[in-house]
Amino acid sequence: MSGLEIVAFAMGAVGFVKTVLDIWDDIDKKRQEHRESDVLAKRLKSFGLAERRGTLKIALELAQTIVRDRTRSRNEALELAANFQRLNELLEAIPSAVDAVIKLEKKPYVLHRGSAFRELKSKVTSLDERISSFHQKVIGLRAIVQTDSSFLLSRQDFSFVGVKPKFVQNGETSFTSKASYIAPGQGAMVMQEVVLEKRYYGTQPREALLESARILSTKLSPALSAWNILHLIGYRDDETDQSVQLIFSHPGPDKELASLSRIYTDGSPEPTLNIRVRLCSQLAVAVLQAHKLGLVHKHIRPGNLLVNFERASNGAIQEASLFLAGWQNARLIEGVATTLIGETTASKVIYQHPKRRVEDNRAKESYNIDHDIYSLGVCMLELLTWDTLIRQGEDELADEMISDAYRHAFKSLGFHQSFPGEAEDEEDGGPSEAELYTYNAEHTKKTLEIMAQSLVAKRAGETMANLVYRCISGVFQPGNDQIQTEEKDQVAEQFANDVFDDFNKLLSVL
């Protein structure tokens, strides 16, 4: 941790306010003990004023609230820490300056008495200025914190159209419906299609879900549609539906909107390579922009990838745009780590980084940027080959089925030889084929790497094959949460540059 990061951490700690005010009180105690000193009485007068102490106390308490608020950016916390550090250095220096004056006052005709008096005066004057500056900084940041509540949509601001509104499910947690609303900062009511993502109360405290939605709204609000992230309108608490909802603008109501997982299974003809590469590029943009917003998505998979598109006369997809959805479980990069609970179903496990796989009821690591990049690579592999790795059976009761390509690559590496013989018979209650072929996380990862190097190379060329391989293998990955944020940022930025350099080169010739 850097020096300012340590200061910011200390500002958020229990007892921070008391520690600072104890220094203030010690100075005032010296003033009272030496009240006969005209110099100290004059220079330290402000330390005896209750309102001055109260002003500092409020500023410190507000600063602590801001530093603890996980929606605040790292730079804001460090700027506030730097401002406080300048104040605190002066405050801590004043007691020794007071002691120097007290010591010299007892000795007549001392040459250095004047300089000691001037030094104390200078420090107290500068402290007043720095307290004022600190207070202004805190109030400014606090005002930003308070405006976060503007993303909460009231019943007066937002309502779905109709007595029984119609909701169409487009993704795992995404729905579309027509709504009448006033967007934050706007005065006129509009009626448009919106996209909403629900998170039901369940066993979680409603207040915790609302706080999570507030934090996510604050982070997602700057996102632009050009980033392939839907424009956020706000969030709402639907007590009737028992859910907290994120509300987004519909990217194109005049076009179809469907999840990539649905498109894979609806019999749509394979899009051109140009369209498939562009969808990959758009997904990469969304993932990398999410990280710049300070978020780790956690669930990058086809069910959370919404495609807005038109169809040609033969049913083929054209003019498609991809948007990353499914934000309800995203977390802050610099926030508190998520609980170590990973996915368990094969159709979701396949997209998870090996260190997010469940072993002994726990995943090895909390989510971080590395895991999103891995999931990005797996999704690009499917997009470029236009073949899902695992698909649902013909009916709801049927087991999930792995693709022939995945099975072939897995067996070519000899991994099937580790299967226990008795487990291959599903009728005796053993694991399904999909579960067997995805049980070992490292075997899954190696299989996907082989598929990237062989199948993607055949279908989309060496450039895309190399890019997908690097995402899955971890060549780009910035490392875990213990690595310095600056270093991770640099690697992530280099990753972004390399990714889009590859995409631009390929798209220029398609």
SS3 string, 54-82, reads HHHHHHHHHHHHHHHCCCCCHHHHHHHHH
CATH classification of the domain holding 39: 1.20.120
* pLDDT at residue 479, as a whole number: 47
- 415-439 pLDDT, tens digit per residue, is 988 886 644 455 556 788 888 999 8
Task: Answer whether residue 111 shows pLDDT above 80.
Answer: no
Comparing CA positions, the residue from 458, 480, 459, 457 lying closest to residue 467 is: 457
- State the CB neighbour count (10 A cutoff) for residue 235: 27
Residue with tokens 């509540």: 149
Task: Answer whether residue 301 shows pLDDT above 50.
Answer: yes
- 113-166 pLDDT, tens digit per residue, is 678 788 888 888 888 888 888 888 887 776 565 555 678 888 888 999 988 899
CA distances from 248 to 81, 177, 196, 198, 220 (A): 35, 11, 6, 12, 10
pTM: 0.70
Q: Which of 111, 132, 150 represents a domain boundary (last residue)?
A: 150
Q: Is residue 236 a part of any domain in this protein?
A: no
Higher pLDDT, 486 or 347: 347
- Can you tell me the distance from the alpha carbon of 264 to that of 78, in angstroms, rounded to the nearest whole number? 46
* pLDDT at residue 324, as a whole number: 97
Q: Is residue 106 a part of any domain in this protein?
A: yes
- Can you tell me the distance from the alpha carbon of 159 to that of 475, in angstroms, rounded to the nearest whole number? 47
- 165-187 pLDDT, tens digit per residue, is 999 999 999 999 999 988 665 66
Q: Which of 150, 175, 192 represents a domain boundary (last residue)?
A: 150
Mean pLDDT of the residues in the chain: 84
* pLDDT at residue 24, as a whole number: 93
Q: What is the count of structural domains for the chain?
A: 2
Q: Is residue 419 a part of any domain in this protein?
A: yes
Task: Answer whether residue 446 shows pLDDT above 60.
Answer: yes
Q: Is residue 195 a part of any domain in this protein?
A: no
- 177-233 pLDDT, tens digit per residue, is 999 988 665 667 889 999 999 999 988 888 989 989 998 998 898 887 888 999 999
Give the range of the structural domain holding residue 364, as residue numbers without chain letter.
Answer: 340-482
Task: Answer whether residue 64 shows pLDDT above 60.
Answer: yes
- 369-391 pLDDT, tens digit per residue, is 888 999 999 999 999 999 999 98
